[in-house]
């Protein structure tokens, strides 16, 4: 009997690549039906075969040409596995997590980009990923290979649309940060590790949709310091485009930087929601930075009235001639 696919299915039935198949078998969260191994390959494939036997999978050894016919990616690395599809996570449960660190992808369509983001999100400690049900990449064999096993540990939820998910996040007290080339602050200036948050990435080319851009609490950007010209979606054009985000291929680097958040601080009132206030240490630093240096205090008392003024100082002790000190060292 053929399993009927529903609109909420994420995919993930076909897993290719040594790392991806190993994590599939190690995690043990999905039933693995069949593992095809290329005959006459390395000992690493033999270990995968033993692990598949332990998990009760049907292990079949085939020729390299036969494996190439089974594979749906260019380089399956000698192994292909068939497993149960990934079950979508519950969106409400992801938002309700006390330490929620979520990643929402507003229409990413490139499988390599999606796989790279999932791998970076999992290694950074993300607690879940949100994908639109339509007009976006789901878990294809290319995604599973690029993710290198991250899909086996990272909860993934499907939503009708990212703007609606941002609204849901706000109701759940989850702060949303959109990534845009023209963001108000840089990622180095963000200080949001003291509350649940969700990073929102846009699609290749068009970036964030208008509604997603408007509903995010904060828009941030990644500074570009290199000598090469930024990708097309990071540059302004003569015709005003819709709000754009950084390339999804840059997401893993950002997520790695987010893995070690700074001590809990808050943004200034102009950069954060009204309910967030400046910490006392930050307020003192801002006041100190904005304060003008004090003017030199004039001399007071009889010494000020009687001390003669000279243009040059003594070359021995740098005291002005005629001061109360006697001799070069004031003896």
Strand partners for 298: none
Domain range for 67 is 14-83
**Residue at a domain's end among 262, 292, 317:** 262
Domains contained in the chain, number: 2
Q: Is residue 100 part of a domain?
A: yes
CATH of residue 251 = 3.40.1280.10
Cα(15)–Cα(12) distance, integer angstroms:
7
Three-class DSSP category at 245? coil
Q: Residue written as tokens 């790279």?
A: 116
pTM reported for the whole predicted model: 0.67
Percent of the chain with pLDDT over 70: 65
Given a contact cutoff of 8 angstroms between Cβ atoms, the answer to whether 32 and 83 are in contact is yes
Q: Residue written as tokens 């964030």?
A: 208
Residue 194's Cβ-side half-sphere holds a number of Cα atoms within 13 Å equal to: 12
Task: Quote the mean pLDDT of the chain.
Answer: 76
Mean pLDDT (whole number) for 8-29 = 92
Range with lowest mean pLDDT among 26-35, 45-54, 142-151, 244-253: 244-253
pLDDT single digits (tens) 197-209: 999 999 888 889 9
At 186 the pLDDT is 86
Same-domain status, 97 and 146: yes
pLDDT single digits (tens) 80-97: 999 999 999 999 999 999
pLDDT single digits (tens) 264-295: 444 444 444 433 344 455 555 555 555 555 55
For residue 252, pLDDT over 50 is answered with yes
By C-alpha distance, which of 43, 61, 59, 49 is closest to 22? Answer: 49
At 194 the pLDDT is 75
pLDDT single digits (tens) 205-226: 888 999 999 999 999 988 877 7
Judged by phi (left if over 0) then psi (alpha if -120 to 50, else beta), residue 322 lies in left
CATH of residue 60 = 3.30.1330.30
């Amino acid at each position: 009997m053929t399993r009927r696919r529903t609109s909420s299915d994420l995919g993930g039935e076909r897993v290719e690549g040594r790392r991806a198949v190993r994590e599939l078998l190690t995690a043990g969260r999905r039933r693995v039906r069949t593992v095809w191994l290329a005959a006459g390959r390395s000992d690493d494939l033999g270990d995968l075969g033993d692990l598949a036997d332990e998990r009760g999978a049907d292990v079949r050894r085939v020729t390299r040409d036969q494996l190439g016919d089974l594979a749906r990616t260019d380089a399956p690395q000698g192994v292909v596995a068939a497993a149960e599809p990934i079950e979508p996570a519950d969106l409400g449960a992801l938002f309700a997590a006390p330490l929620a660190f979520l990643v929402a992808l507003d229409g990413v369509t490139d499988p390599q980009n999606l796989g790279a983001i999932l791998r970076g999100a999992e290694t950074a400690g993300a607690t879940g990923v949100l994908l639109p049900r339509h007009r976006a990449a789901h878990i294809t064999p290319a995604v599973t290979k690029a993710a290198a096993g991250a899909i086996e540990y990272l909860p993934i939820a499907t939503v009708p649309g990212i703007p609606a998910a941002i609204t849901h996040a706000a109701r759940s007290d989850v702060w949303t940060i959109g990534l845009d080339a023209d963001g108000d602050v840089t990622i180095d200036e963000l200080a949001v590790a003291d509350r649940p948050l969700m990073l929102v990435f846009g699609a290749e080319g068009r970036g964030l949709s208008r509604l997603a851009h408007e509903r995010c609490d904060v828009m941030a950007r990644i500074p570009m310091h290199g000598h090469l010209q930024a990708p097309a979606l990071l540059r302004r054009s003569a015709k005003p485009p819709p709000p754009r985000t950084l390339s999804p291929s840059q997401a893993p680097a950002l997520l790695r930087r987010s893995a070690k958040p700074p001590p809990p601080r808050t943004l200034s009132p102009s950069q954060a929601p009204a309910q967030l206030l400046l910490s006392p240490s930050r307020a003192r630093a801002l006041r100190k930075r904005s304060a003008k240096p004090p003017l030199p205090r004039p001399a007071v008392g009889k010494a000020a009235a009687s001390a003669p003024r000279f243009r040059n100082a003594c070359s021995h002790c740098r005291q002005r001639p005629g001061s109360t000190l006697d001799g070069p060292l004031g003896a």
